[in-house]
Each structure stands twice: as C-alpha cells, then as structure tokens.
Amino acid sequence: MIYTKHQQEIAESLNPDSNINDWKDWKWQLRHSIRTIEDFESIMDIRFERSERDMMQKTLEKFPMAITPYYASLIDRNNLKDDPVFRQSFCSVEELNIDTWDMADPLSEDHDSPVHSITHRYPDRVLFHVSSMCAMYCRHCTRKRKVGDRDTIPSKELLEGGLQYIREHTEVRDVLISGGDPLMLSDSKLKWLLDEITSIPHVEVVRIGTRMPVVLPYRITDRLADILSKYDNLWINTHFNHPREITESAVAALRKLTKSGIPLGNQTVLLSGVNDCPVIMKSLMHKLVKHRVRPYYIYQCDLSEGLSHFRTPVSKGIEIIELLRGHTSGFAVPTYVIDAPGGGGKIPVSPNYIVSWSTNKVILRNYEGIICTYKEPDSYTPVYCDRNCTDCNLQFNTEGSEYLPLVGIEKLMADYDERIALIPEDNERIKRRSND
C-alpha cells in the first residue's frame, strides 16, 4: 500500500514526522483518533459555519465522536453532505432530533441481561458484551447509550461472571462476542477470553462481531490472524455498509482472516443517504462475495435515540431484496431483518413469492414475474409431532459416523479381528511358506 495524497495530508497534519509504518500501526491510528470538531476541521482542511459548529458541539455533548485517520481519509471533502463515509462517522445536528418512539435501549438488551455483560434472548445462544469501546463511533449505532463510555468497560472480574453464566447454562451452544468492538481488546486478553469460552464443552460456535476491517483494517495484524486461526469453531461477522469501504487495506485485512481459515459474514444496516439504493447494495454484495465474505443480514435501522434521519421505510428494504433475488447469486442475497423493539429478536422480512395456495398446489411467482405451479404430493403422510420422541419412527441418532479401515496395532487391539500378527511386506520367511 502507498499513501494517497489525502492520507498523506491527514498523516502530516496529525504528526509531521509520521510515515507509512506509523499510518499502518493500529495503535497509532487510535492515539490520533479524531474526537473534536476543531480537529476534524484542521485535519480535513475545511470550515463549518459557526452556528452549525455550535449545534454539532451540542450533539457531541450527548453522543461522543471518534474517527480513525484511516476512515477519515476515505471522505470526499468536496461533497461532505452526501458522502456515505462522512454521514456514518461525523456528528450531525440531526442526532438531536429525538422522536417520541426513540429509545435508549430499543432491543431491551439490558432487560434480557441476567448478569453483567450477558444478554440471553434466544434459547441456545447469548450475546457477550466484552467492551464498550470502538475504533470509530458509528453515528447509526444501536448502542449509543453505551459506546464510548469508559465507565462501562467490563473488568476481568465482570467478564469472569459472564463466563461463569455460560458454563452454568448448558443450553448455550453459540456465543456472540460483541461490544463496542471486541477487537479493541489486546491480543493477550482476547486470547484469554477465547480460550475460556472454547474450553466450555457445550459451546459449539463462537462468533466475533467487529467493524475493524472497515474502520481500522490495520488492527488485523499477522499476529492477531494467527491467534484467531487456532479456534476451529470461530466465525467473524464484519459490518460493511457501502462499497467504498472495501479498500485495498480492507481487502488485505479480509484476506488475512480468510487465509487463516476463518469464515466471514457481513451485517449491513440500511441507512438513508448512505446505501438505500438497490444499485449500491448490489455492488456491495458483489464486492463482499468477491473477497469471500458471505452477506448475512441487512438490518432495518433500529429505534435508537437520534437515528430518525437514518431510518428508511421497510418498503425500501423489501425493494432492495426484490432487486437482488434472482438478479445475482443466491448466496449474495442477505436476509433483511427487523430487530423487533422490546426484545422480540430478529424478524425476517421479504417480498412475497407465494401468489396463492390450495390443498394440492402452490402458485408461485419468480423474480421476472413468471407465475408457475408446484404440485403438492398426494401420498405424503404428515408427521404430527407431539414431542413424544421415544415413539417416533424418525432416526434421532444425529452423530455422523464413518467406517475407516483399521491400521497397524489397532487391528490387533480389535476383538472382532482375528489377526494375531502384523507381518511386514516382502518378509522372506513368509514367502518361503507360500512357496512350499
């Protein structure tokens, strides 16, 4: 990678003696995070009107700002108003518009928190909040109430409490590590946490939700990728919202993770003025799958405080899915969901492809508008489940087993094998026997 002119200007304004090694040092990026309007103006060489700056300052008093120099370098200074990177990262006076239906905790995560740092909403999985800090504070964040608050950073003791909860609840097979951003933890603390979680016998899947590949790709170091590669049941979900975020450096970070064998997914938030366009979304999904990131969710923007200017009608999300399904690869089409207010969980929303339904036929339409008939089977015997599994004819042995030929000493150890000796090939004495 080389500096762009814009990146070089930002780097020199932050530190005249900086170089490419400084720029690619993720800790340097965090130390030089842009947190004030004055610093943003100075670094970006722009000026806001005084009245506008005063209103922005009021926003910062309620919702703090942090932008990495890297992410700031992606902003088009000549069109701030419409720039998708600027809209996601820089404070806006519109955030002070708190609608009557806005909530500090719209998903009721705190209500579904049996112990500190754990949200247990679904039967078999938990959300583990391990940090309240992020490399960048996204203006559309659903956890604006927490993010950036150093007073809510979980201590190791509090994290131990979360780990103990997971150990005691054997129904938990999936742990989603979230925050803030979990990758704000040091390598050693992250390794400790993953070691503890993966050592719990009933935990089958561990997931990390992070925006680091988007806003600070240099955090994905070779050492971090090597640490993460050691966990066979680890998945990572990224958070790209616009195709312009998939830069050379972002691709390099993604490549380190995929080459380490870690499956990647992506969760996109539908945002007015950023990506509420089928063309933009299709481009984003194509870029993601090109770099082996599976589109997972498109989220309807939550009812968090100060996000009304980001929210679109649900019909916009359905329109986007309509113009993806059939027009691109199936695995490039994410699921559009509304995370229900009050803790109802993720509810999938999609266009309706069933036109009608009778006893014997289902009438369907495809993405082109072609209407077709699917004939229902005449001889299907319904399986009425009364939860009496002991009398069910279905096979409940779900453990896959395969036959592998016995090898070496294992053959002699097997009671059902009649061999009493293992004889090397080309043994001369055995050859003489066969010739007698």
In the predicted structure, residue 3 carries a pLDDT above the cut 70: no
Rounded CA separation 291/264 (Å): 10
The active-site residue out of 71, 87, 91, 125 is 125
How confident is the prediction for the chain on average, in pLDDT? 91
Instruction: Provide the 8-state DSSP code for 152.
Output: G
More confident residue, 394 or 113: 113
Residue 226 has pLDDT above 90, yes or no: yes
User: Is 426 noted as a catalytic residue in this protein?
Assistant: no
Query: Annotated catalytic residue: which of 138, 139, 219, 301?
Result: 138
Active-site position among 87, 143, 145, 256: 143
Q: What is the mean pLDDT of residues 6-16?
A: 77
- pLDDT at residue 142 above 80? yes
Average pLDDT on 91-110 reads 87
Give catalytic status of residue 255 as yes or no: no
pTM here is: 0.88
> 89 pLDDT exceeds 80?
yes
**Which pLDDT score, from 0 to 100, does residue 2 have?**
46
- Residue with the larger pLDDT of the pair 410 and 274: 274
Catalytic pick from 24, 35, 53, 121?
Answer: 121
In which band, very low, low, confident or very high, does the pLDDT at 184 lie, cut at 50, 70 and 90?
very high
Which whole number is the average pLDDT over 291-305? 95
Task: Reply yes or no on whether 91 is catalytic.
Answer: no
Residue 67's beta-bridge partner residues?
34
- Number of residues assigned to the chain: 436
- Region 196-204 average pLDDT: 98
Annotated active-site residue in 122, 149, 189, 325: 122
Catalytic site includes residue 389: no
* 150 is known as an active-site residue: no
**346 part of the active site:** yes
Helix (H) or strand (E) holding 371: strand 371-375
Query: Which amino acid, one-letter code, is at 205?
Result: V
Helix residue ranges per DSSP H, 323-420: 409-413
Q: Which of 231, 302, 311, 336 is catalytic?
A: 302
For the residues 19-32, what does the mean pLDDT come to?
92
Could you tell me what percent of the chain has a pLDDT over 90?
Answer: 69
Average pLDDT over residues 63-76: 95
Of the residues 70, 83, 141, 211, only one is catalytic, namely: 141
Q: What whole-number distance in Å separates Cα of residue 81 and Cα of residue 264?
A: 32
Joined together, the tokens standing for residue 304 give 């968090």
Q: In what helix (H) or strand (E) does residue 213 lie, and over which residues does it extend?
A: helix 212-215
Catalytic hit among 134, 139, 211, 276: 134
Name the residue type at position 295.
Answer: P
Confidence (pLDDT) at 14: 77
357 φ, ψ (degrees, to nearest 5)? -155, 125
Summarize the confidence of residues 177-186 as an average pLDDT: 94
Residue 436's pLDDT band (boundaries 50, 70, 90)?
low
Residue 1: predicted pLDDT: 45
Residue range 141-147: mean pLDDT, rounded = 81
d(CA 274, CA 85): 8
| 139 among known catalytic residues | no
User: Is 301 among the residues known to form the active site?
Assistant: no
CA nearest to 346, candidates 125, 43, 111, 116: 125
pLDDT top residue among 159 and 398 = 159
Tell me if residue 140 falls in helix, strand or coil: coil
Point out the catalytic residue in the list 24, 346, 365, 411. 346
Using a pLDDT cut of 70, give the percent of the chain over it: 98
Q: How far apart are CA 203 and CA 200, in angstroms?
A: 6
pLDDT of 201 over the 70 cut: yes
Catalytic annotation on 219? no
